[in-house]
Amino acid sequence: MSVLADFYAQHSQLIDQIGVNATLALSLSVSLQAGQLALAQAAFMGIAAYVSAILAMNAHWPLLAAIVTAVLASTLVAALLAYPIRRLRGIFLAIATIGFGEIVRVFANNLNVTGGAEGLSSIPSDATTGVIYASLAVVALGLLLLSRTKFALAVALVREDEYAARGVGIDVGAIRTLSLALGGAIAGLGGALYAHSSFFITPNDFGFARMEEILVWCVIGGVTSPLGAVLGAALLSILPEVIRFLRDYREVTNGIILLAVILFAPGGLASLWRARRRRAARTRA
């Protein structure tokens, strides 16, 4: 037990970071499963992070109440954003949501309540490892249960062929709105946990670079695989620490891994074990 305690003491921040990053990866995976390249997760994360931090610091709200309120705020913003953009597709949707993210960042940079460009410090660090991983488990369980419903079938059909989905009576706009709102809720949860485990946040924590990271995690793991998204987030959270000896060249490894995945496993890490299962099934047959 002492060995485990020593390991946790040395790597607790990284362990917490993996849990938060996995939650954020799941948030984008929800939108990607619906065929939406909506890149506003960093903005939803930032909104919830600031809401929860401000409530905890200024109003002295307990952690659970601050997180629930922050998640509701990010969900509402995501649902409101989804309505005007739900007819957009592909690169146009990506650009629109990136633009929304920049608007959120600029507001955070200039509002007094957010601390402006200097951000907020002295945030209560009460999101423990247990809280972070319990939240991740709840999200994962919820998505697993959701994957067995008719809603998941509708999401898959909208992704593959929205005209066919309309032909069988599926409200494509509603599916896209609900998917983006659900992704916003999970991203908000990740943002609130990030704020309450980081002590200090700034607007740059929720800019395009963060969104790019989340997207890379999902692409490497598999854009339609929640488990792949979690593995991608975990891998790219751990890797910088493993190759710390490379110093300034550490960031290059993300690009190399992304390029290798695109060339040799376009479906991400998830496609590797799916192909393995298919080969095993053919062998048994």
pLDDT in tens, 85-95: 878 888 898 99
Q: Tell me: the pLDDT tens digits for 56-91? A: 999 999 999 999 999 999 999 999 998 888 788 888
Q: Does residue 284 register a pLDDT over 70?
A: no
> Which range, of 64-68, 171-175, 177-181, 251-255, averages the lowest pLDDT?
251-255
Q: Taking 70 as the threshold, does the pLDDT of residue 22 lie above it?
A: yes
SS3 at position 201: strand
Cross-strand pairs, 201: 120
Residue 241: band (very low, low, confident or very high) from pLDDT cuts 50, 70, 90: confident
Region of residue 280 (phi > 0: left; psi between -120 and 50: alpha; otherwise: beta) = alpha
Q: Which of 49, 53, 44 is nearest to 181 (CA)?
A: 44
Residue 149 CB contacts under 8 Å (≥ 6 apart), including other chains: none
Using alpha carbons, list the distances in angstroms from residue 172 to 11, 17, 85, 155, 166.
44, 35, 13, 9, 7
Does the pLDDT value for residue 9 go beyond 80?
no
Amino acid at 144: L
What is the four-CA torsion angle of 274, 277, 279, 283, rounded to 10 degrees?
-170
Q: What is the CA radius of gyration of the chain?
A: 19
Of 84-93, 94-103, 106-115, 264-273, the poorest mean pLDDT is in 264-273
Q: 140 with 26: CB under 8 angstroms?
A: yes
Alpha carbons within 13 angstroms on the beta-carbon side of residue 102 total 7
pTM score: 0.90
| CA distances to 18, 38, 266, 278 from 140, in Å | 14, 21, 24, 25
Burial of 107 (0-12, 13-18, 19+ CB in 10 A): middle
- The DSSP 8-state label assigned to residue 111 in this structure reads -
Q: Categorize the per-residue pLDDT at 226 as very low, low, confident or very high, splitting at 50, 70 and 90.
A: confident
Q: How far apart are CA 95 and CA 102, in angstroms?
A: 11
Nearest-angstrom CA–CA distance, 229 and 211: 14
User: Residue 103 above 90 pLDDT?
Assistant: yes
The pLDDT score that the predictor gives to residue 170 is 87
Beta bridge partners of 120: 201
Dump strand ranges (E) for 128-243: none
Q: Are 197 and 20 in contact (CB under 8 A)?
A: yes
